[in-house]
Amino acid sequence: MIKISATTDAVETIDDVLLLPYEKRQKSRLRAQLKSGIEVGLTLPRGTVLRGGDCLLSEDGKVIAVQAEPEQTSKVISEDDLLLMRAAYHLGNRHVPLSVTKDGLRYLQDHVLDEMLKQLGLTVEHELAPFEPESGAYAGGHHHH
Q: Could you report the per-residue pLDDT of 44-91, keeping only the tens digit for each?
A: 999 899 999 999 999 999 999 999 999 999 999 999 999 999 999 999
- pLDDT of 10 > 80? The answer is no
Question: Stretch 128-132: mean pLDDT, rounded?
Answer: 96
Assign 138 a pLDDT band (cuts: 50, 70, 90).
low
- Domain final residue, candidates 38, 68, 98: 68
Q: Which domain holds residue 32?
A: 2-68
| Dist. CA 124–CA 102, nearest whole Å | 15
State whether 63 and 81 are in the same domain.
no
Res 11: pLDDT: 80
Question: Stretch 2-21: mean pLDDT, rounded?
Answer: 92
Looking at 3-139, list the stretches that DSSP marks H as alpha helix, in order from N- to C-terminal side.
22-25, 81-93, 111-119
pTM to 2 decimal places: 0.83
Q: Could you report the per-residue pLDDT of 89-117, keeping only the tens digit for each?
A: 999 999 999 999 999 999 999 999 999 99
Contact (CB, 8 A) for 105 and 89: no
A 10 A CB-CB count for 85 gives 12
End-to-end CA distance of the chain: 36
- Which CATH number goes with the domain that contains 19? 2.60.260.20
In a domain, 139, yes or no: no
Distances (CA, A) of 132 to 1, 68, 109: 28, 8, 13
In a domain, 142, yes or no: no
Res 145: pLDDT: 37
Residues listed for the chain? 145
